[in-house]
Amino acid sequence: MGHIVRRALWGVIDLDTRTGHIFVQEEWRYVWQIDPGARPWTLRERRRFHDTVDRHVWGTWSRRVRVRPTGAHPLANPSRDLPVEFDVRWVLSGGHWTVNVRKVPPGTPSPRSWVDFGARQIHLDHLDGIPHAVGNAANQARNRFYTIPHEFGHTLPTGAGSAVPVDDEYNAGHAHLPDTDSLMNIGRQVRGRHIQVVLDELNAMSPDLQFTVAP
């Protein structure tokens, strides 16, 4: 059968049924914004920022959660655990996401970054590649938190067809507030719950395959 591709509004999932390679890619179209007092973006700076995005997303998300296929398909016989890889591609038109990247003047703190899931817009700034200190509602703190892979998590819906993105887990009352190592809290670890939409889409690709998060 070869490749099966599933296209969603937020990204593309490619399953190679021969090798078991699972590749998730989002296309990002950048809008390079300049705050008063900041120097214009150079091409080198734009490329460096995207390289940082690509490195942070790939390094944090890829191969962190494995999925296990079952069913009559040869891919599941014998059963094996398959890694999921995540990637961001820079596009000049179209794209799944419009990414507004602010350049702020020297000495200005990094503004709060966020994702508007409904509008498929991501709001970042040129300082987001720098690690920084964060805390959560459980009075826990971490010193080297990275913004970009966390915000990438908000571009994934909670399931196939969902209009709700994966949520912040650092707020008071959240079921996963105690999980401080979680990337969607104040840590750096991807959990199976964060990629539920990938499972849902994989399970809709072939009637002979079903996927679950590997233990």
Q: Average pLDDT, whole number, for the chain?
A: 97
Task: Grade residue 1 by pLDDT with cuts at 50, 70 and 90.
Answer: low
Whether omega for the bond prior to residue 78 falls within 30 degrees of 0, making it cis, is: yes
In the predicted model, what is the mean pLDDT of residues 4-33? 97
Position 135 pLDDT exceeds 70: yes
126 exposed, middle or buried (CB, 10 Å; 0-12, 13-18, 19+)? buried
- Residue 79 confidence (pLDDT): 87
Task: Tell me the per-residue pLDDT of 102-130, one tens digit each, with 9 for 90 and over.
Answer: 999 999 999 999 999 999 999 999 999 99
For residue 55, name the pLDDT band (cuts at 50, 70, 90). Answer: very high
| Averaged pLDDT, 133-151 | 97
189, 183 in Cβ contact below 8 A? yes
Mean pLDDT of 125-137: 98
Q: What is the pLDDT of residues 60-90, one digit of tens each?
A: 999 999 999 999 999 999 989 999 999 999 9
Residue 118 has a CB neighbour count (10 Å cut-off) of 9
Q: Indicate the pLDDT class of residue 2, thresholds 50, 70 and 90.
A: confident
The proportion of the chain whose per-residue pLDDT surpasses 70, expressed as a percent, equals 100
